[in-house]
Amino acid sequence: SRGLGMRGHIRFDNVSFAYKTRGGNEMVLDDVSFEALPGQVVALVGKSGSGKSSCISLLENFYEPTGGTITIDGKLLTEYSHSYLHQRMSLVGQEPVLYSRSIRGNITYGLPPDSLSEEQVVRAAELASAHEFIQEMPDGYDTQVGERGSQLSGGQKQRIAIARALCRDPAVLLLDEATSALDAESEALVQAAIDRNMKGRTVIIIAHRLSTIRSADKIVVMRKGKVVEQGAHSEIVRRGGVYA
């Protein structure tokens, strides 16, 4: 069953977050509140440094908020174990992390050995538009990717990372829309893979593309660590807000 019991109802309530720096504390998030209902796509939009990535880092439970609460399905994020969150939530970041092992080993990385059948691995790769190029590699799924995936192109690495995210069948998908480093053809393939796999999951996406932003159920516009407005694309445009 998808997400093993997690519905993916995410809430940020008055969340603040500060990094400790030499000169004291630097406020990264300031009183941030938004909600993603199960199955909704929520796009975080804003300039670099507005706090979008910090929202994702906090959701992954890498850090704890300095103030306020984050809940999933009504339960505090901090009450979930890291391993549970790791299985139910998947992140596809801008710089895909690949390990010096086989393509199969990269797709199943972090899961118990033999927890996935070959069919499940191939299915995840197909969903990620990766199966075709893997088949053409010298040893297929057993091909070694080299140090940090040096044998693969940027678009190939990205699609392996998407396959890794999908093979867990997560309830929540966290995406840093990572199309900036890719050529147009790879970007189209990666984008298609992402679009195809959003259905039925809660998706929080740091969005740069207008098409993604427009099609999201909700847009959360951030500036300097604060949420300056939120709503559907049509509502925000109608209000003539910052983002419009």
Residue 54 has pLDDT above 60, yes or no: yes
Task: Give the residue carrying structure tokens 């929540």.
Answer: 172
Q: How far apart are CA 164 and CA 106, in angstroms?
A: 7
Note the pLDDT of residue 101. 92
| The pair of three-digit structure tokens given for residue 56, joined into one six-digit string | 């994702």
57-92, pLDDT tens digit by residue?
A: 999 888 899 999 999 999 999 999 988 898 899 988
- Torsional sign, CA 236, 237, 242, 244: positive
124-175, pLDDT tens digit by residue?
A: 999 888 999 999 999 999 999 988 788 888 888 888 998 999 888 899 999 8
Note the pLDDT of residue 3. 47
Is residue 236 within 8 Å of 243, Cβ to Cβ? Answer: yes
Note the pLDDT of residue 208. 82
Q: Where are the domains of the chain?
A: 2-239
- In the three-class reduction of DSSP (H, G, I as helix; E, B as strand; rest coil), residue 117 is classed as coil
Nearest to 43 by CA among 169, 244, 167, 217: 217
Percentage of the chain surpassing pLDDT 90?
54
Q: How many residues does the chain have?
A: 244
Looking at every residue in the chain, the average pLDDT score rounds to 88
Say how far residue 226 (Cα) sits from the centre of its chain: 20
Is residue 131 within 8 Å of 122, Cβ to Cβ? Answer: yes
CB count in 10 Å sphere of residue 35: 15
> If you classify domain 2-239 with CATH, what class do you get?
alpha beta
Nearest to 106 by CA among 95, 96, 117: 96
